[in-house]
Amino acid sequence: MQNIKIDKLFPIKENKNGVQIIITDEVPSTYKDWAKINNFNAESGQVLMTIDNKVIVGKGDLNDIFYFADIYNKLPDGEYIEPNLKSSEKQNLIIGWALSAYNFDSYKSEKTNINKSLYTQNDENKKTALSIAQGIYLCRDMINTPANDMTPQDIENQVVKLANQFEAETNIITGSELKKSYPLIHAVGKASINKPRLIELNWGNAKHPHLHLIGKGISFDSGGLDLKPSNAMLLMKKDMGGAGNIIGLAHIIMANKLPVRLKVLIPSAENMVSENSFRPMDILKSRKGITVEVGNTDAEGRLVLADALTYAGQNKNQADLTIDMATLTGAARIAVGADMPAFFCDDDKIANEYYKAGVKTNDPVWRMPLHKPYKKLLDTPNADISSCSQNGLAGAITAGLFLQEFVNEKTNWIHIDLMAYNNTKSIGKPIGGEAMGIRALWELLKNRYQ
């Protein structure tokens, strides 16, 4: 896995000899003739290089990180000094710059040269912005890494590495203990030579509010015996995108010392085919004791999340808030597209706060209903519940309702169904793994707990 390249992008040492960035909504009088020759009129995102070591940039929305990401793309190689900005705007500058600078070249013989640097004053705003950029890079790198190098063991290694960085504790449950205590996670992953596991990280003061983060860590999804067609399998290295996003968010939380007792749970498995595969219509007993009839082996994510949610709810120190993230349903992508996560929440106040945080950070999310009457679509005469609706309707909603059966009723809960991948390239968003909804989550969490 490649090293995060933030240090090269943002050297700690301040450099006074770089090109000074000046952001303005009108052409400075000194450069009017030069601006006219270059058809520069200070419109948003326009760039004008000068002969006196300055670059004039047309002022746009300084609250939009993608405005700054676009500036990065337009500037030639060189060393640049930050413009005069407010603290929140400076954070947007650094994060936007980083999003555009990202590249994944771990498996290429010729590495990408990064010859564009931004120099900024060292302060808390820079530290926070760097932590967010690093969390996003970590998330993107994990999702982009192919499944042969991002097995459940490799996901575990990343969590352990993160724990060592921030002096957190880890607990890994696998083998016979997993089969006994987390039977759904075991059932999904037992067909693979890369054994399933529950990866747990704990950090922070136990006296602080408890925050539980759960990420679906299916390192590769063949669909199981309900085998996916080959074209649908091409992106299934990203089926651990929920885990990647949660791990990236955990990095941001710990780097900023958010006053919470953090528990991260990553139920991780490969959904593969062998003589040991779980089957359609198998009836499995969950950790909670609820029996689940397998409606489709390709709906495996909700199974591993169910056991993790149950464990989170059984913890003796009840969580103030539980958040799970998962690349769970194609139905969510049909409903809201690939650019934003659909989310479900059982508390209107928290749901509104999360939505507003998404608007503020330009990290959009959209709430979907936990429509109770649809729960009957999960009825089966053979078990307590079916893992999925047989008529295919309301797929994202019924998945959310299924998960809700395993959530402690006393805990506030957000379930996030995301793509975690950019199929097309846009400003600050290269093709590949993506952090979706975690900048909005950080905004929500810091407002809630700081």
Give 203's DSSP letter. Answer: E
Among positive and negative, which fits the CA dihedral 349, 350, 351, 352? positive
Of 54, 116, 195, 228, catalytic: 228
Please enumerate in sequence order all residues whose Cβ is within 8 A of that of 300, keeping only pairs 6 or more positions apart, or say none. 188, 218, 221, 224, 269, 271
Contact 55, 75 (CB under 8 A): yes
The b/e string for 418-431 (b: 16+ C-beta within 10 A; e otherwise) is bbbbbeeeebbbbe
d(CA 194, CA 270): 7
DSSP string, 341-378: -EEEES-HHHHHHHHHHHHHHT---EE----GGGGGGG
Active site residue 32: no
Cβ neighbourhood burial of 165 (10 Å; 0-12, 13-18, 19+): exposed
CA geometry: angle 372, 223, 155, nearest 5 deg: 90
Q: Are strands 321-326 and 291-293 parallel, antiparallel or unpaired?
A: unpaired
Map residue 320 onto helix, strand or coil: coil
d(CA 71, CA 91): 15
Place of tokens 């929440």: 345
The b/e string for 333-364 (b: 16+ C-beta within 10 A; e otherwise) is bebbebebbbbbbbeeebbebbbebbeebbbe
Active site residue 302: yes
Beta bridge pairs of residue 322:
212, 413
d(CA 281, CA 303): 14
Of 302, 333, 429, 439, catalytic: 302
Residue 298 region by backbone torsions, left for phi larger than 0, else alpha for psi between -120 and 50, else beta:
alpha
Q: What are the residue numbers of the active site? A: 228, 302
